[in-house]
Amino acid sequence: MLAKAGNRGADAVIADLEDAVAPASKAAARATVTAWLADQRDPGFDVWVRINSTLDLRDADAAVADTGNLFGLVVPKVKSVEELFEVSARVGAIEAAAGIPAGRTRLLPIIETARAMRSVDDIAAAPRVHQLMIGEFDLGADLGVDPAATEAMLPLRMEVVVASAAAGIAPPLGPVLADFRDLDELAADTRRLVRQGFGSRPAIHPAQVAVINAAFTPGPDEVIRARRLVELYEAALAAGQGAVTDDDGRMVDEAVVRVARRVLEAARRSEGPQ
């Protein structure tokens, strides 16, 4: 599965050592992932490893960072920022011992506990944190909330989006969709995530990748309009104006152009690996 994972069209691959692996198979899975990582030199996609949440397994799993081919570690079931400081210190020691430039290994905490929601701003601003993800199945279980209840999850989603923006990190990953056969629902739900400010979401089946990519990739008309807005605004600034009217008679100012620039950046990323 790992050997084929990079051929599915995803921008990143997450090798899961946590929930996807039975307790008796943890050590064997870690060895398999370590061997796979050793071959991932310039693979054309970002390589992540999802480590375990318990302290003993988490420290052992973090050792996969010593190959130098890892983009980062996905840290599940985070409860406090102190946990991330501990993981960061552990990874820093591994980098130093392996001669890897300090800070290369990023962290991606999954917000899936009530305590993490209460500390989401601190977690987003912690060392090495590149991005957050919301894990709605575990979070719903922790809160006693049905994760399918959109009205209940939306405020929590927006807290994660706001915390990410405030910390200046990448927009967060949305939740997985477990029913990988319902691609129509995946498309509709993913478009909602785009509107809510998420940057992507994980796929749990290869069939989901193309649908997710399509939802997060701006269409040709969106790109043309975004480029036109940027051009109009830059021309207005050059003429000493702070705002301008677009071709449809709507005002264009810095806030509108920031959104347009994000559309152009998303289109640029879709043209190749980050």
Residue 6: phi and psi, rounded to 5, are: -75, -5
| Residue bearing tokens 């397994």 | 57
Q: What is the DSSP string of 141-202?
A: HHHT--TT-HHHHHHHHHHHHHHHHHHT-PPPB----S-TT-HHHHHHHHHHHHHHT--B--
Tokens of 186: 């995946």
What is the end-to-end Cα distance of the chain in Å, rounded? 22
177 sits in the region (left: phi over 0; alpha: psi -120 to 50; else beta) called beta
pLDDT digits (tens, 9 = 90+) for 33-90: 999 998 888 788 999 999 999 999 999 999 999 988 899 999 999 999 999 999 999 9
CA separation (Å) from 137 to 30, 49, 170? 25, 20, 22
Domain with CATH 3.20.20.60 in the chain: 2-216
Q: Model's pTM, two decimal places?
A: 0.87
Q: Read off the pLDDT of each residue in 131-147 and give the average, rounded to a whole number.
A: 95
CATH number of the structural domain 2-216: 3.20.20.60
**Is residue 200 predicted with pLDDT exceeding 80?**
yes
The two tokens of residue 180 are: 């990988």
Cα(236)–Cα(95) distance, rounded to whole angstroms? Answer: 48
